[in-house]
Amino acid sequence: MFFDEKPEDMDILQVLKERERDESKKLIFEQDFTDILLIFDLDPQDPQFSENKISAMMKYFVESTDMGKLYLNYPMIEAFYHMTSIPDPEYNDRVAALTELCGHTYKKRVNTENRNHDYSKFAVTREECNIVIGQNIEKGWRMLNANPDNILPNASLILDRQIDMLSEHEKLYVLCTCVFFIAEYNPRLLK
């Protein structure tokens, strides 16, 4: 979609349908959707990683009811489970080094440091899930050195901060932003 720098000329559902190899799964793209959520891992260790492309995607995919909303997890979805306790007083300072991502050891680290060493037993109550979501939102604001002036920190600014951290220190702040959808969709769910 971003090859010719004109993503607005394409429909994300049609692009996905064209790329799907399983004919039975193509039917999914014929349905009506109220929201399109794009949940990606940043994965800066991937040889195809491009700061420019991911920044362009972040600026384009900003509305779930239109072209879609992009949520990036830093460095990957396992960030949701990377807490030693709920709440985790050390979570705001937790980072992942580029060397662990390149060496494919980050997921093992999460399993080791996860409070129960088992994803299925991580956040088992609504209260625990709310705490995890709240800590990720709070961390996003802290990363930007900003006080909340809205329910959620700006996703493009978070990406910029992460890119800076990566280029300056070869590290990323561990942050799960896909949970931001819950607060964006209905903040009352977090009470």
- Residue 79's nearest CA partner among 160, 186, 168, 158 is 158
The verdict on residue 96 lying in a domain is: yes
For the chain of 191 residues, list the mean pLDDT of each consecutive stretch of 10: 67 82 88 90 93 92 90 96 96 97 96 87 90 96 89 94 97 96 82 72
Q: What was the pLDDT predicted at 79?
A: 95
Phi and psi (nearest 5°) for 74? -115, 120
37-41 and 62-63 beta bridge pairing = unpaired
Domain assignment present for residue 125? The answer is: yes
| Cα gap 102→172, rounded to integer Å | 13
Residue 133 burial (C-beta neighbours within 10 Å; 0-12, 13-18, 19+): buried
Could you list the residue range(s) of the whole structural domain that residue 172 is in?
Answer: 73-190
Q: What is the pLDDT of residue 151?
A: 83
Calpha distance 44→36 (Å, rounded): 24
32 assigned to some structural domain = no
- pLDDT at position 5 is 66
How many whole angstroms separate alpha carbon 111 and alpha carbon 54? 28
In a domain, 16, yes or no: no
- The reported pLDDT for the residue numbered 94 is 98
* Per-residue confidence (pLDDT) for residue 116, from 0 to 100: 85
β-strand 68-74 against 37-41: which pairing, if any? parallel
Task: Read off the pTM.
Answer: 0.88
What is the number of structural domains in the chain?
Answer: 1
Q: Which residues contact 119 (CB under 8 A, 6 or more apart)?
A: 81
